[in-house]
Amino acid sequence: MSSITALRKFVSPEIIFGAGSRHSVGNYASTFGARRVLVVSDPGVQAAGWVGDVLASLDQQGIQHVVFTGVSPNPRVDEVMLGADLYRTSVCDVIVAVGGGSPMDCAKGIGIVAAHGRNILEFEGVDTIRMPSPPLILIPTTAGTSADVSQFVIISDQVERVKFSIVSKAVVPDVSLIDPETTASMDPFLSACTGIDALVHAIEAFVSTGHGPLTDPHALEAMRLINGNLVAMIANPSDIELREKIMLGSMQAGLAFSNAILGAVHAMSHSLGGFLDLPHGLCNAALVEHVVAFNFNAAPERFRIVAETLGIDCRGLTPPQVRARLVDHLIAFKRAVGFEETLRLHGVDSSDIPFLSRHAMADPCILTNPRQSTQRDVEVVYGEAL
């Protein structure tokens, strides 16, 4: 069946995009009939003042609130359960998250647990959710993870040292308030991490076996925006127009991958991040060119379009030449935003690779990778990234 006649579905939240949009959170909470809101964040975001803005907006509408900031950089099972306890004992009826991927994923997890009254571990996998979550309003403060528009939740299981994925349209938030002003509190390292994450989202969504005419335009525009503006944004942190472009690129990458799903970079990155508790964007950065080189021959025409979108002149080049240019470009781009890392630098040893590969093979993102992969393939790619 050709891709034109195949059925496609596309899910996204109601999106309000633009500087200052965070201040309208009270209005949106009141349209859900909120009486008491659980506000989920983390200490860094609270210190930056973004939580205060949210509480002020809720206060203006006369809405009570409870704040939960016990969220680690990779949100954990016990944190989700504590948040859900607080939601229940405080008799909340709406959840607002303000922060990066971690508070947003934690908030999604809290909503699942609040609705079902069961442990978050029971919902691993695709379409496991039976009850609707409470209304969910997300305010991202980083330009990269796209948890605010996606049907993914990624939680760390500290006991097993793995990250697990929950994929369901039930976790797509009801409202996403995307405010570029909030990214002003990102340091250059976080800007680089989340920017690389968003670029990888766009590339993986474009070559995914789940891609289609509804996701391709978002993926391509995201690549163009991030490739063209991330280096400048990190160099000029006070330029709000550059922030808007990166935030828009991140959002479009999110719409693309939420609907086309991802590939081996993310499957391997989730495994790595769960094992070593590393920033997700850093894991992606260490792996991206190795996975692109591995996947290239499975989708050479798609990768040629990726290369052209990233500004590489592909006229007259053979597929192996395009592949080499694309890999070089990704390495140069990573260096330009400050990434020189290899996995070994972060304590990964060749003896860890079988464990990492086993968990990567169990990740739902591997299913839509353009090249069919065995565990041995994944081990080889990890080995190259050492």
Q: Which domains does the chain have, with CATH numbers?
A: 14-183 (3.40.50.1970), 186-385 (1.20.1090.10)
Cα 44 versus chain centre, distance = 19
Record the tokens describing residue 246, joined without a space.
Answer: 């990166």
Strand, coil or helix: 174:
coil
**Residue 17 and residue 178 in contact, taking contact as beta carbons nearer than 8 Å:** yes
Supply angle C-alpha 292, 293, 297, rounded to 5: 95
Buried b (16+ CB within 10 A) or exposed e, 306-344: bbbbbeeebeeeeeeebbebbbebbeebbeebbbeeebe
Per-residue pLDDT of the chain (386 residues; tens, 9 = 90+): 445 567 888 999 999 999 999 999 999 999 999 999 999 999 999 999 999 999 999 999 999 999 999 999 999 999 999 999 999 999 999 999 999 999 999 999 999 999 999 999 999 999 999 999 999 999 999 999 999 999 999 999 999 999 999 999 999 999 999 999 999 999 999 999 999 999 999 999 999 999 999 999 999 999 999 999 999 999 999 999 999 999 999 999 999 999 999 999 999 999 999 999 999 999 999 999 999 999 999 999 999 999 999 999 999 999 999 999 999 999 999 999 999 879 999 999 999 999 999 999 999 999 999 999 999 999 999 999 99
By CB atoms closer than 10 A (0-12, 13-18, 19+), residue 32 is middle
Closest CA to 19 of 249, 243, 253: 243
Provide the pLDDT for residue 222.
98
pLDDT given at position 341: 79
Model pLDDT, residue 1: 43
Closest to 269 measured CA to CA, from 151, 191, 376, 356: 356
DSSP 8-state class, residue 145: -
Which pLDDT does position 4 carry in this prediction? 57
pLDDT at 39: 98
Task: Decide: helix, strand or coil at residue 375.
Answer: helix
H or E, element range at 271: helix 264-276
